[in-house]
């Protein structure tokens, strides 16, 4: 779908014509980059033929590393290994503390009202962390396409506010990427699923990601999407499901007191593995700090019930607003 065919509030309808333009999904958990070849979208792979780049950045004594190779460092060196940075884009220190970041990171105010991570490399802003992810994706694209990029369309949650959108643009600028436009993720999802091929219709997109939730209602008419209403929560996603399961695990294991950053990361990794196992299984075994037990789907639903309710309330509001 050409950019001309997407109508979103506050967005220009002007089409862009560039030789090497890409689309970037800057995700909470994983990111990827794609381009259009022969009229079809094609995801650009890394040197190991992997489409996804884990959105992980490690600030080590020898330099900065991004992606899959530093995954284990989230546990062994958690305060210098930033994950889910999207949750902190355009946020203050106080907002970040409320959103679960206190479990691992040491925060500081960057002087402009926004949060920074305290690492061995100094104070690092979420914009700088995101720029490392974007820079890695851009390098992948340049190698695949045989030249420097002319620009990129970057997806963002529909419920991102102005500060969060500007932070995304700033990260791209820092990475040396020209932003052609920001595209709301639910609209991108509608296009990806081919919903633009229909003549007309009313479409609701429920988009629950790793760190954000969006609900958008779109009207399709003559190949043009019109965004009627959006709702959501930029601090609600799979990470919060893991936090809820982790809280249950702590109770089952009778663990009191504060946990170290390493212990927190191990706890969250255990919670995530259990959640993912229940995608295909009705019950899974769980072990944490000497405690062994089981987590079934019924208990999982109890853990996340209030979070699911939050998505439903936001969805109903978007439907009413439409």
Q: Please, what is the angle between helix 261-277 and helix 238-252, to 10°?
A: 110
- Catalytic residue from among 8, 25, 214, 233: 25
Name 36's bridge partners. Answer: 41
Say if residues 214 and 159 touch (Cβ distance below 8 Å). yes
DSSP element (H, E) containing 10: none
Instruction: Name every residue whose Cβ is closer than 8 Å to that of residue 154 and which is 6 or more positions away in sequence.
Output: 23, 24, 26, 134, 168, 172, 179, 182, 183
- Distance, CA of 203 to CA of 228 (rounded, Å): 10
Clarify whether 185 is annotated catalytic.
Answer: yes
CA end-to-end distance (rounded Å), the chain: 24
- Distance, CA of 94 to CA of 98 (rounded, Å): 6
- Catalytic residue from among 77, 207, 233, 239: 207
- Distance, CA of 170 to CA of 98 (rounded, Å): 24
Clarify whether 305 is annotated catalytic.
Answer: no
Q: What is the DSSP letter of 44?
A: P
Clarify whether 233 is annotated catalytic.
Answer: no
Q: Please, what is the angle between helix 297-321 and helix 238-252, to 10°?
A: 150
Complete DSSP assignment for 251-267: HHTT--S---HHHHHHH
- Distance, CA of 206 to CA of 239 (rounded, Å): 17
- Catalytic residue from among 8, 132, 170, 185: 185
> Among 254, 70, 42, which Cα is nearest to 145's?
42
Where would I find the H helices in the chain?
73-76, 93-98, 126-145, 162-174, 185-192, 238-252, 261-277, 297-321
- Catalytic residue from among 86, 196, 214, 239: 86
Would you tell me how many other CB atoms lie within 10 Å of the CB of residue 306?
10
Q: Which amino acids are annotated catalytic?
A: 25, 86, 185, 207
């Amino acid at each position: 779908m050409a950019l001309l065919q997407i109508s979103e509030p506050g967005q220009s309808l002007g089409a862009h014509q560039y030789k090497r333009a890409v689309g970037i999904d800057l995700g909470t958990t994983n990111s990827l980059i794609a381009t259009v070849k022969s009229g079809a979208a094609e995801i650009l792979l890394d040197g190991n033929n992997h489409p996804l780049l884990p959105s992980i950045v490690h600030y080590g004594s020898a330099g900065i590393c991004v992606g899959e190779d530093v995954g284990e460092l989230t546990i062994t060196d958690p305060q210098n290994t930033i994950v889910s940075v999207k949750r902190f884009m355009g946020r203050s220190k106080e907002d970040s503390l409320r959103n679960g970041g206190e479990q691992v990171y040491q925060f500081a105010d960057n002087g402009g009202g926004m949060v920074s991570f305290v690492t061995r490399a100094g104070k690092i802003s979420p914009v700088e962390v995101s720029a490392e992810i974007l820079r890695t994706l851009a390098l992948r694209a340049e190698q695949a396409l045989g030249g420097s990029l002319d620009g990129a369309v970057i997806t963002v949650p529909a419920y991102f506010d102005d500060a969060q959108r500007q932070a995304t643009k700033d990260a791209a600028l820092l990475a040396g990427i020209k932003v052609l436009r920001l595209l709301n993720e639910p609209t991108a999802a509608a296009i990806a699923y081919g919903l633009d091929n229909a003549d007309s219709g009313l479409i609701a997109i429920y988009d629950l990601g790793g760190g954000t939730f969006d609900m958008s209602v779109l009207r399709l008419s003559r190949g043009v999407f019109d965004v009627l209403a959006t709702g959501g929560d930029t601090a609600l996603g799979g990470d919060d499901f893991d936090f809820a399961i982790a809280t249950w695990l702590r109770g089952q294991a009778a663990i009191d007191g504060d946990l170290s950053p390493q212990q927190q990361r191990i706890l969250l990794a255990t919670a995530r593995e259990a959640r993912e196992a229940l995608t295909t299984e009705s019950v899974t075994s769980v072990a944490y700090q000497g405690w062994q037990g089981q987590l079934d789907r019924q208990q999982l639903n109890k853990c996340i019930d209030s979070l699911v309710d939050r998505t439903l309330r936001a969805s109903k509001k978007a439907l009413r607003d439409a």
